[in-house]
């Protein structure tokens, strides 16, 4: 029966606009005549009427197929018994969702705080290493610079010592040459003296025989001295040849010494520049590390403060838990009392026994709660 009524209703929604459109079209043709314009207007009017009827029929069909909400009338007791459990479940779901989200955020912030603390520790160690009690890296740089400059000075000293050694060898060869010349001169003088002594001994005859022996020994000594000086001369010639070779070598080396001196000077300049640049980099690094350390301290403080701010969820959870408990208790009271009469003061006192936040007492007294005071207790 209801299906037939619905079909009839939908048919009426469709037929009424269609009939009106058809009647209007006929009246238009009757008064205007059968012209192209009148026919076009009549067909347009009738099409609009059909479309309107179809739309109304679809709306009626949708309304007939929609699920019906049962209409129930009941007393306050039944409403409370039906509504309070639903409210309790909704509040408990909200409370648990808030707790889970806050716990996750707290864990994320806790990990971030630990990471920042590790970074801060590393920064502290880096700063301590750069500028420690014993000077740190800067002291090591200064010590390395002194060592490198010491090596440069040693190279300069070695170069100067080689030049002095060459000069000493040359002077020694010259002194030996003079000594050989002196020995040859002395041998020549002794020979001349022995010749004179032999001549005088011959003039003296028998009385000059002893003097002739002395002259002969002096001549032998002169010959021996001449042979020795000749051998020394040959050796000195070899020494001079070696000295000449060394001189040529050292002359070439002197050229390289000059080049080495230039290189050493350049190396000294480069070492000083590099060490100075390294010092500047180290100072800038130390300054950057200190700035990073300060920023990390600030971020660490802000995150720690945010973690304290997140403790609001603990108070919210406590309040919602008390609300759910009170709603369940009120449902039990309503269910147990058919007359619906309650002792409001006793009920409020019983509710207040579970309160644990200042906001709950303020709300109970009807006072508007101000800004909540954040607890300093850290529970994570």
DSSP assignment of 131-183:
T-TT-HHHHHHHHHHHHHHHHHHHHHHHHHHHHHHHHHHHHHHHHHHHHHHHH
Q: How far apart are CA 145 and CA 17, in angstroms?
A: 105
Kindly report the length of the chain: 380
Which residues have CB under 8 Å from 144's CB, separation 6+?
Answer: 275
Q: How far apart are CA 321 and CA 314, in angstroms?
A: 10
CB 162 within 8 A of CB 253: yes
Delimiting residues of CATH 1.10.287.950 domain(s) in the chain: 131-307
Residue 69: the pLDDT is 41
Which residues have CB under 8 Å from 252's CB, separation 6+?
Answer: none
CA nearest 219: which of 198, 202, 194? Answer: 194
Residue 5: the pLDDT is 47
Residue 186: the pLDDT is 73
CB 214 within 8 A of CB 197: yes
What is the sign of the dihedral through the CA atoms of 11, 13, 16 and 19?
negative
Q: Which two tokens stand for residue 29?
A: 């043709």
CB 28 within 8 A of CB 41: yes
How far CA 376 is from CA of 105, 131, 304, in Å, comes to 18, 37, 11
Mean pLDDT by 10 residues, the chain (380 residues): 46 53 57 52 55 58 50 55 65 72 75 73 66 59 67 68 68 72 71 70 66 68 71 72 68 63 70 72 72 73 70 76 81 71 76 79 61 40
How would you classify residue 371: left for phi > 0, otherwise alpha for psi between -120 and 50, otherwise beta? beta
Q: How far apart are CA 354 and CA 324, in angstroms?
A: 12
**Residue 378, helix vs strand vs coil:** coil
Could you count the other beta carbons within 10 Å of the beta carbon of residue 197? 20
Q: Which CATH number fits domain 131-307: 1.10.357.10, 3.30.70.890, 3.40.50.300, 1.10.287.950?
A: 1.10.287.950
Q: Which two tokens stand for residue 309?
A: 């701010």
CA nearest 50: which of 79, 76, 19, 91? Answer: 19
Q: Which two tokens stand for residue 2?
A: 């209801």
pTM here is 0.36
Backbone angles phi, psi at 120, to 5 degrees: -65, -40
Q: How far apart are CA 334 and CA 209, in angstroms?
A: 172
Q: What are the strands, taking DSSP E only, across the chain?
A: none
Q: Which two tokens stand for residue 184?
A: 């040859």
């Amino acid at each position: 029966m209801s299906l037939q009524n619905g079909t009839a209703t939908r048919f009426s929604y469709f037929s009424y606009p269609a009939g009106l459109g058809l009647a209007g079209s006929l009246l238009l043709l009757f008064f205007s005549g059968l012209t192209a314009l009148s026919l076009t207007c009549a067909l347009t009017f009738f099409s609009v009427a059909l479309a309107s009827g179809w739309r109304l029929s679809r709306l009626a069909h949708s309304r007939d197929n929609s699920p019906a909400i049962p209409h129930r009338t009941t007393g306050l007791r039944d409403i409370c018994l039906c509504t309070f459990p639903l409210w309790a479940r909704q509040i408990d779901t909200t409370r648990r969702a808030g707790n889970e989200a806050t716990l996750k955020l707290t864990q994320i912030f806790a990990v971030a705080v630990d990471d920042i603390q590790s970074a801060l520790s590393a920064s502290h160690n880096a700063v301590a290493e750069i500028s420690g009690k014993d000077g740190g890296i800067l002291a090591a740089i200064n010590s390395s610079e002194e060592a490198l400059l010491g090596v440069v000075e040693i190279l300069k000293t070695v170069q100067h010592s080689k030049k002095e050694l060459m000069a000493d060898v040359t002077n020694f060869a010259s002194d030996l040459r003079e000594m050989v010349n002196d020995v040859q001169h002395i041998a020549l003088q002794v020979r001349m003296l022995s010749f004179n002594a032999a001549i005088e001994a011959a003039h003296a005859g028998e009385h000059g025989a002893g003097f002739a022996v002395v002259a002969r020994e002096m001549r032998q000594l002169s010959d021996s001295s001449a042979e020795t000086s000749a051998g020394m001369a040959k050796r000195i010639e070899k020494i001079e040849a070696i000295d000449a070779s060394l001189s040529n070598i050292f002359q070439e080396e002197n050229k390289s010494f000059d080049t080495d001196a230039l290189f050493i000077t350049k190396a000294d300049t480069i070492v000083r520049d590099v060490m100075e640049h390294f010092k500047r980099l180290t100072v800038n690094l130390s300054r950057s590390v200190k700035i990073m350390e300060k920023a990390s301290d600030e971020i660490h403080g802000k995150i720690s403060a945010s973690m304290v701010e997140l403790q609001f969820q603990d108070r919210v959870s406590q309040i919602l838990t008390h609300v759910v408990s009170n709603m369940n208790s009120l449902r039990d009271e309503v269910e147990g009392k058919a007359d619906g009469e309650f002792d409001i003061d006793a009920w409020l006192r019983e509710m207040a026994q579970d309160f644990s936040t200042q906001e709950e007492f303020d709300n109970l007294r009807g006072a508007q709660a101000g800004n909540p005071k954040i607890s300093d207790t850290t529970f994570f």
